[in-house]
């Protein structure tokens, strides 16, 4: 008799425990929102071209969660002694969330060896899909370089 009571009590506890855990899960607060992602812009390569210029290869990655209809940056190019030699607008076009895009830009009459660094000076265009403009293009911009030329903000 005692054995059957112990067995019944154990079975009742085994059935009630998952229900208690489920009730606790339902009452738990919502998890913290995911942190905002970055818009990654990397100078991936700089190669001499036959016209005596430099071909810059950029990798742009939209990790912001925003669908961008148009994105472009104004950059300043510094020569070998640190003097600004050019201001350019680099257009990357449309980038949906999670998309990576590779774009090349040619700088005529400027060998790569004559470029010490390039900085993002400003956002030239940051249009969201469906209209409006976003702040993610500059506020969440993360830059880097794999080339011998420094690239940043």
Structural domains of the chain ordered from first start: 39-152 (2.60.40)
- DSSP codes of every residue in 29-90: PPPPPPPP--EEEEEEEEEE-TTS-EEEEEEEEE-SS--EEEEEEEEEEEETTS-EEEEEEE
The yes-or-no verdict on residue 56 having pLDDT over 70 is: yes
Confidence of residue 37 (pLDDT cuts 50, 70, 90): confident
Rounded to an integer, the average pLDDT of 98-125 is 95
Within 13 Å and on the Cβ side, how many CA atoms surround 109? 2
Confidence of residue 42 (pLDDT cuts 50, 70, 90): very high
- pLDDT of the residue at 40: 95
Q: Are 66 and 135 in contact (CB under 8 A)?
A: no
Rounded to an integer, the average pLDDT of 107-135 is 91
| Cα gap 58→121, rounded to integer Å | 16
Burial 65-98 (b: 16+ CB within 10 A, else e): ebbbbbbbbebebbeeeeeeeeebebebeebeee
The yes-or-no verdict on residue 81 having pLDDT over 70 is: yes
Query: Which two tokens mark 135?
Result: 């702040």
Please list the residues that pair with 128 across neighbouring strands. Answer: 68
| Cα gap 140→38, rounded to integer Å | 5
């Amino acid at each position: 008799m005692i054995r059957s009571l112990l067995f019944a009590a154990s079975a009742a506890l085994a059935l009630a425990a998952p229900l208690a855990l489920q009730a606790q899960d339902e009452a738990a607060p919502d998890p913290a929102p995911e942190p905002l992602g970055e818009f990654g812009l990397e100078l991936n390569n700089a190669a001499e071209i036959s016209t005596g210029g430099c071909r810059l290869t950029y990798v742009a990655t939209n990790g912001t969660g925003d669908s961008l209809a148009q994105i472009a940056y104004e950059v300043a190019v510094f020569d070998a002694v640190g003097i600004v030699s050019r201001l350019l607008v680099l257009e990357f076009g449309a980038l949906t969330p999670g998309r990576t895009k590779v774009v090349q830009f040619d700088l005529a009459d400027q060998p790569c060896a004559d470029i010490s660094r390039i900085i993002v000076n400003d956002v030239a265009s940051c249009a969201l899909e469906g209209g409006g403009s976003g702040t993610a293009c500059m506020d969440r911009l993360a830059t880097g370089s794999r080339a011998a030329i420094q690239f940043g903000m």
